[in-house]
Amino acid sequence: MNTFAALIILNGYTATLRRQVRDRLSDNDVGATTLEIVIIVLGLIAVATMLVVAITAAVQRRVDQIT
């Protein structure tokens, strides 16, 4: 088979595959909604608050043991 003809066929397969992938991705919802982002941020803030409280309590106990 001629190399040039093989490259043309391969290019056609590649273009078809790209189109199919683009069509599949455009139908799906990509990314997070605003509500999801807000819930994630609130969860991270809650975890950070619990860590600050736990570290503060541990440090306070150690300080009380020293004095």
pLDDT the model gives residue 6: 84
pLDDT, tens digit only, all 67 positions of the chain: 588 888 888 899 899 988 888 887 776 666 778 888 999 999 999 999 999 999 999 999 998 888 6
pLDDT the model gives residue 27: 62
pLDDT the model gives residue 2: 82
pLDDT the model gives residue 1: 59
Domain extents for the chain?
A: 1-30, 31-67
Enumerate residues 6+ apart whose C-beta is below 8 A from 22. none
Closest-CA residue to 61 (of 53, 51, 44): 53
